[in-house]
Amino acid sequence: MITRDEFSLIYDEVNKAINDVFDYIFENSLDHNYVLFLADGEYKEQYLRSRLNPFVIDSREDKYKDESRLNFFIQFMKTFYSFPTGTTQTDDNEQRLHMELMIYSHTWESKPFLKQLYRLASLVDGNSYLWDVTVPEMSKHSFIRSGIRNTFRNKGLHIAQVITNAFHTSLRNAFAHSEYVFDNTNRQIHLDTYKGETWDLENISYDDWTKRFVYSALISYLLINEKHERRISLITDFGRDTFSILHPVTERKFILRYIYYEPKYDQFSFHPRY
């Protein structure tokens, strides 16, 4: 269960944390790194077989792959977390809880989502834009904690705490493998994956679970939303629609190229005159 006021506070907290990350990169990264993140620069290994440059911009493959899941998730949040007039809190409906466990697992297994977070963390750390990011099939907890969360924490960015409030390996493991039991009498979820380690969770109350779910849902949604807002404000922010980037030819060789943003179609393209 979560109250409407608690949900609003978490929403504002997550929204500010994500905005702070984008502001940090905008102010501290080289312009082309910030622009490449918004332009969805991506490495397509399969293009090598056709002798095409595998380093592309405005890649939409991940977006299309994740589109159905995100549409379901958005509809779910509208249904159960819109707090219509007169509603001050959610209930502990078991059917809703089951769906939340599924959404939570999908969120923290989503490669498109984790790639976005990892690239943001890398830019915050002062690195050049990462065209090629591989999310491991196993040990995602290390990828999330060490590769993403701790990098944000080292820069004093609150999004690190948001991730801590959202993600826990015990929850992900138990839900992904259906190793959990609802205890409605004590309003707890028991995790059958518990092995007694100091970091492990044996159970979580319904109230604490709902907060973790809300943190996870909001960081997933608001990251996508803020990235879109930054794309459409790009021309205003920089006063131009054309940007120079370092475009890889190979993993070690780069050339200067220009890309431009077309707001009418929300699209990035290589500039035909350069």
Q: What is the pLDDT of residues 5-23, one digit of tens each?
A: 999 999 999 999 999 999 9
> What is the DSSP code string of 101-146?
HHHHHHHHH-HHHHHHHHHHHHHHTTPPP-S-----SS-HHHHHII
User: Is 273 a domain residue?
Assistant: no
Q: Which pair of structure tokens corresponds to residue 191? A: 């995790």
**Containing domain of residue 19, as a range?**
4-177+206-238
User: Is 96 a domain residue?
Assistant: yes
The H or E element containing residue 30 is: none
Residue 93 backbone class (left: φ over 0; alpha: ψ -120 to 50; beta: rest)? beta
pLDDT tens across 156-195, in order?
A: 999 999 999 999 999 999 998 999 999 999 999 999 999 9
pLDDT tens across 64-106, in order?
A: 888 898 899 999 999 999 998 889 999 999 999 999 999 999 9
Q: How far is CA 43 from CA 195, 252, 260, 264, in A?
A: 40, 14, 19, 26
User: Is 245 a domain residue?
Assistant: no
Q: Residue 274: its pLDDT value, please?
A: 60
Q: Residue 250: its pLDDT value, please?
A: 80
Bridge partners (DSSP) of residue 255 are 247
Domain count, the chain: 1
Averaged pLDDT, 33-43? 97
pLDDT tens across 210-269, in order?
A: 999 999 999 999 999 999 999 999 999 999 999 999 999 887 899 999 999 999 999 999
Bridge partners (DSSP) of residue 55 are 43
Q: Residue 234: its pLDDT value, please?
A: 97
- Please state the length of the chain: 274
Q: Residue 74: its pLDDT value, please?
A: 93
Q: Which pair of structure tokens corresponds to residue 123? A: 């830019």
Residue 237 backbone class (left: φ over 0; alpha: ψ -120 to 50; beta: rest)? alpha
User: Is 142 a domain residue?
Assistant: yes
DSSP 52: -
Sole residue written with tokens 């089951």: 98
User: Is 34 a domain residue?
Assistant: yes
Q: How confident is the model at residue 44 (pLDDT cuts 50, 70, 90)?
A: very high
User: Is 246 a domain residue?
Assistant: no
User: Is 247 a domain residue?
Assistant: no
pTM of the model: 0.95
User: Is 120 a domain residue?
Assistant: yes
